[in-house]
Each structure stands twice: as structure tokens, then as C-alpha cells.
Amino acid sequence: MTPQIGAQATTQSQPAMQFGGTQQQVSGQGQQAATVAGAASDVTLDEALTTEMQQALQATHRAVLACEWCADRCADHGPEMAECIRLCRDVADLGSLSERSIARDSVYGPAIAEEFIAAAQECAQECARHQHRHCQACAQELSRAISATQQMLTSLGQSGQQLQYQQGYAQQTGTIRGQSQQF
């Protein structure tokens, strides 16, 4: 049986659920929206993210699932799949990190997204070399995630030079690596 990558379950109207400082609400269309508890503007996560960010996060999430699935399936094919397994696991980890950093608007989000793109490109090439259905499906999901992430970075105007300036500014103002005075 082949698992469905990123299949969405539709949900009926459900009450909001509280997790830590975030309130999860499920809309009638089956999409989740997070509202930051205690925020003056009561902005949902979906409202805070651009369309490009939302598309990149969704595509990256699907790629993470595909890579985990591919790595598990490749393990059944012997040691000749070791490189595919390693790359899939690396991309899954980088993709998860990229999702979290972009969603929370981390100063390192664009740099992590760029690293995800580089690793995903290498993994997609490796997966494309193999004729297994799971490898081919993984390569396709990676291609979609790469494209969506590149579009997101372009829409954010993130070039290497702008990213270096942004990180340099953050270091000067003490807003990274626990140097911030705000808690």
C-alpha cells in the first residue's frame, strides 16, 4: 500500500484548541489557522504569511514527508541506496528546520531556505537516478518544493547580499543568539 503524501483530511466545524501560547482553529474548508494568544491584533498565521510563504511551507512540508517515506522505502533495497537514504534524511531535517524558521519569521529563515534548496536539488538528482516509484515521487515533490521556495525568496527580495546585511544588522542590534534584552 502506497501512503498518500500530504493528504488532507477534511474536518467538520471544530472548536478552537489551545496549545501553549497558540490557539489552533479549524475552518470549514479543513485549513488550520493559528492565532497568537494575547496578541493585540489577533492576526492568524495564515494572515501573517504571504501567499508565496504559504505555498513554500506547504511544498516543503510535502517534500519532508516524501523524503522520510523515500528513505524508509530505500532501506528495503539494500546498501546501494545508502546515498539516497542519507540525502533524503538530510533534506527532511533541513526542510523541517526551514518550515519552522520561515513560519516564525526568523532572521535565519532565508539562509536556511537557501540551504534547503541546495540539499533538495542534490537529493532530487539522486532520487531521479533510481527507477523505484518512491524515488521518482520524492524527486517530483522536491522539484515542487525547490520551485516554491525559490519563488518565496524572490518575493521576499532575499539575495545573498541582502541576507548578509539583515544578519549583520541583527548582530549589531543584539537580536540573535540570545543577545536580545527582550524576553
Cell of 142: 522536491
- Per-residue CA distances from 52 to 13, 20, 43, 135 (Å): 27, 27, 18, 26
Give kind and range of the element (H or E) at residue 18.
Answer: strand 17-19
With CA atoms as reference, report the closest residue to 116 among 47, 169, 36, 57: 57
Q: Boundaries of CATH 1.20.1270.360 in the chain?
A: 49-173
Residues 6+ positions from 51 with CB-CB distance below 8 Å: none
CATH match for 49-173 among 1.10.3720.10, 2.60.120.380, 1.20.1270.360, 3.40.190.10: 1.20.1270.360
- Write the DSSP symbol of residue 30: S
| pLDDT tens, N- to C-terminus, the chain (183 residues) | 444 444 433 333 333 322 233 333 333 333 334 433 444 457 677 778 889 999 999 999 999 999 999 999 999 999 999 999 999 999 999 999 999 999 888 899 999 999 999 999 999 999 999 999 999 999 999 999 999 999 999 998 864 444 444 445 445 545 444 443 333
pLDDT tens digits along 142-183: 999 999 999 999 998 864 444 444 445 445 545 444 443 333
Residue-by-residue DSSP string for 112-135:
HHHHHHHHHHHHHHHHHHS--HHH
Through-space distance between the first and last CA atoms of the chain, rounded to whole angstroms: 48
Long-range contacts of 16-20 (CB under 8 A, 24+ apart): none
The pLDDT mean for the chain works out to 75
- Write the DSSP symbol of residue 4: P
Whole-model pTM: value is: 0.66
Residue-by-residue DSSP string for 73-119:
HHGGG-GGGHHHHHHHHHHHHHHHHHHHHHHTT-TTHHHHHHHHHHH
- Per-residue CA distances from 172 to 9, 44, 157 (Å): 45, 31, 21
